């Protein structure tokens, strides 16, 4: 399992197991961006197979996809416009049942 | 103290303990509501009793009937206690990779366990129960994820208890799960104190038990959507296994509360809220968080005594919550 660490101008994105096949098997990747929208755009540009898995046709987050910046769910922040700092980790996680 | 006629009379009215010694800000109180004090040992006693009562009142549930439910533990255990008393045969769809204690408690109550593959996680157990309920229409499927009695139980009991005991509450933090606790308590609190902030914590499921073939297998509980969870909550954050474990141990060793692991996740979330609050600028705050259950059912994992990093890694293979 490869672990990316952030270098200047990039952020680390953590991918769920179910999406790693579309990112050459990596659990984390490094991409550029200062908002979630930019980060996801760079991610999809680097790994086109991820595109329709994360965003729907209108460019919104798909229903069962949760994205977190510094562990906070972006749906309760500024959604895709949520700012991302260089030392933040962006995590993509599927919505699953608890209880 | 009174003499009670049934353990079911002991559900609810749980105590709140001040654990502000764990607060990062002296102006922010941390208050733990001990749901492990319920007779079957968890917050789920409230919703199990409410769902059974609702099904009885609707005439669906009569003695001799079969009840089926997917549960990774606490709902199953609560239903086991209640069904035993009320005379129903209970089948629980239980993922194979839960801790052994949960299986043992269910067996002690005479529950029929239907195993579901560990790799499919809680979602797999839900799917299996849905399929079995569809094949057996005479069984009563309570379906905690979509049952109105779940959030309603918290709206009618947990929420009022919290406001009664902590009238100056400013924040409420709880695990998301079925979302019943947050939707019910949160709706009640915001109706009576609109400034109260509500925060959900989510322990991420272990990477090897998230149980998804694709993201289309994801799941948002109908209760969350029906009660307007997106509008109701003020924030939602994931708490890493290592943080859940560390804060669970703090509860045990620094406050004497023998808490289960999801309680550590709620405390970690409450501490995060406390750190951001800044009482010097914003005044004092009172954060109530839920201690869902006790540590008893998790002891076999080594979560309380083994090396933290080893346990945090092994959490990837076990359903803890």
Question: Is residue A41 within 8 Å of residue A66, measured between CB atoms?
Answer: no
DSSP state of A72: E
Inspect the interface and report whether the beta carbons of A72 and B237 lie closer than 8 Å. yes
The percentage of residues in chain A with a pLDDT greater than 90, rounded to a whole number, is 61
DSSP B29-40: EEEEEEGGGSTT
Inspect the interface and report whether the beta carbons of B218 and A95 lie closer than 8 Å. yes
B289 found inside a domain: yes
* One domain, residues B169 and B247: yes
Here the CATH number for the domain that contains residue B88 is 3.40.50.1100
- Give A9 or B256, the one with higher predicted confidence: B256
B152 found inside a domain: no
pLDDT in tens, B230-289: 999 999 999 988 899 999 999 999 999 999 999 999 999 999 999 999 999 999 999 999
B151 found inside a domain: no
Token pair of B43 as six digits: 């917050």
Nearest residue of A to residue B123 by CA position? A97
Q: Is A14 on the interface with B (CB under 8 A)?
A: no
B146 found inside a domain: no
Q: In this structure, is the dihedral angle defined by the CA atoms of residues A54, B212, A30 and B276, taken in order, positive or negative?
A: positive
* One domain, residues B26 and B51: no
Beta-carbon neighbour count of residue B79 at 10 Å?
32
pLDDT in tens, A30-68: 999 999 999 999 999 999 999 888 988 888 898 889 999
Topology (CATH level 3) of domain A10-94 = Ubiquitin-like (UB roll) (3.10.20)
Closest CA to B273 of B21, B17, B25, B18: B25
Q: How far is CA B318 from the centre of its chain?
A: 17
* One domain, residues B93 and B129: yes
Out of B141, B176, B201, a domain closes at: B141
Question: Which chain B residues touch A if contact means CB-CB below 8 Å?
Answer: 44, 71-72, 74-75, 121-123, 125-126, 144-145, 175-178, 202, 204-205, 207-208, 210-221, 230, 233-240, 321
CA–CA gap between residue B30 and residue B275 (Å, rounded): 12
Nearest residue of A to residue B126 by CA position? A97
Partner residues linked to A93 by β-bridges: A66
Token pair of B92 as six digits: 């629980």
Is B262 one of the catalytic residues?
yes
Q: Is A1 on the interface with B (CB under 8 A)?
A: no
* One domain, residues B227 and B98: no
Q: What is the pLDDT of residue B213?
A: 59
Which residues of chain A are within 8 Å of residue B236 when distances are taken between CB atoms?
72-73, 75-76
* One domain, residues B92 and B115: yes
* One domain, residues B93 and B133: yes
Inspect the interface and report whether the beta carbons of B237 and A16 lie closer than 8 Å. no
* One domain, residues B176 and B290: yes
Q: Which residues of chain B have a pLDDT value below 70?
A: 204-217, 316-321
Beta strands A72-73 and A65-69: pairing type? antiparallel
Question: Is residue B244 within 8 Å of residue B264, measured between CB atoms?
Answer: yes
* CA distance readout (Å), B304 to A85, B105, B125: 35, 20, 27
Q: What is the pLDDT of residue B90?
A: 98
* One domain, residues B162 and B264: yes
Give the nearest partner residue to B218 out of A73, A94, A98, using CB atoms.
Answer: A94
Tell me the backbone φ, ψ of residue A68, rounded to 5 degrees.
-125, 135
Token pair of B167 as six digits: 């009238």
pTM of the model: 0.93
B149 found inside a domain: no
B148 found inside a domain: no
Per domain, the residue ranges of chain A are 10-94
Inspect the interface and report whether the beta carbons of A98 and B122 lie closer than 8 Å. yes
Out of B100, B116, B141, a domain closes at: B141
* One domain, residues B24 and B170: yes
* One domain, residues B28 and B55: no
CA atoms within 13 A on the CB side of B253: 8
Q: How far is B215 from chain A (nearest CA, A)?
A: 6
Q: How confident is residue A99, by pLDDT bands cut at 50, 70 and 90?
A: very low
* One domain, residues B24 and B67: no
Give the count of domains, chain B. Answer: 2
Quote the domain boundaries for residue B113: 44-141
Inspect the interface and report whether the beta carbons of A96 and B210 lie closer than 8 Å. yes
* One domain, residues B71 and B180: no
Partner residues linked to B289 by β-bridges: B32, B173
Tell me the backbone φ, ψ of residue A2, rounded to 5 degrees.
-90, 145
């Amino acid at each position: 399992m490869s672990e990316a660490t952030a270098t200047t101008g990039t952020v680390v994105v953590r991918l769920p197991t179910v999406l790693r096949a579309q990112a050459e098997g990596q659990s984390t990747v490094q991409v550029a961006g200062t908002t979630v929208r930019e980060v996801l755009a760079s991610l999809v540009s680097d790994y086109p197979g991820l595109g329709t898995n994360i965003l729907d046709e209108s460019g919104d987050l798909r229903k069962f996809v949760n994205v977190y910046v510094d562990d906070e769910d972006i749906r309760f922040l500024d959604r895709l416009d949520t700012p991302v700092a260089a030392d933040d980790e962006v995590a993509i996680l599927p919505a699953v049942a608890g209880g | 103290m009174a003499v009670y006629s049934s353990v079911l009379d002991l559900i609810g009215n749980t105590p709140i303990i001040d654990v502000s010694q764990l607060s990062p800000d002296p102006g922010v109180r941390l208050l733990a509501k001990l749901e492990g004090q319920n007779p079957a040992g968890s917050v789920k006693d409230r919703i199990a009793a409410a769902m059974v009562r609702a099904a009885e009142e609707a005439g669906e549930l009569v003695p001799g009937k079969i009840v089926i439910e997917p549960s990774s533990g606490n709902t199953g255990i609560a239903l086991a206690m209640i069904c035993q008393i009320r005379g129903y045969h209970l089948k629980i769809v239980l993922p194979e990779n839960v801790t052994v204690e949960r299986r043992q408690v269910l067996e002690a109550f005479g529950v029929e366990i239907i195993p579901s593959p560990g790799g499919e996680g809680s979602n797999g157990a839900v799917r299996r129960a849905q399929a079995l309920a569809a094949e057996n229409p005479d069984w009563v499927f309570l379906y905690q994820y979509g049952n109105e009695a779940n959030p309603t139980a918290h709206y009618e009991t947990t929420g009022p208890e919290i406001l009664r005991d902590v009238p100056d509450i400013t924040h409420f933090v709880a695990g998301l799960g079925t979302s019943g606790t947050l939707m019910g308590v949160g709706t009640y609190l915001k109706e009576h104190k609109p400034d109260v902030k509500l925060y959900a914590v989510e322990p991420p499921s272990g990477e090897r038990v998230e149980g998804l073939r694709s993201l289309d297998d994801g799941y948002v509980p109908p209760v969350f959507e029906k009660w307007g969870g997106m509008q109701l909550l003020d924030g939602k954050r994931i708490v890493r296994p290592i943080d859940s474990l560390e804060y669970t141990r703090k509860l045990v060793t620094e406050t004497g509360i023998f808490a289960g692991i999801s309680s550590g996740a709620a405390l970690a979330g409450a501490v995060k809220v406390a750190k951001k609050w800044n009482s010097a600028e914003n005044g004092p705050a009172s954060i109530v968080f839920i201690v869902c259950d006790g540590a008893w059912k998790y002891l076999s994992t080594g979560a309380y005594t083994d090396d933290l990093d080893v346990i945090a890694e092994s959490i990837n293979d076990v359903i803890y919550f």
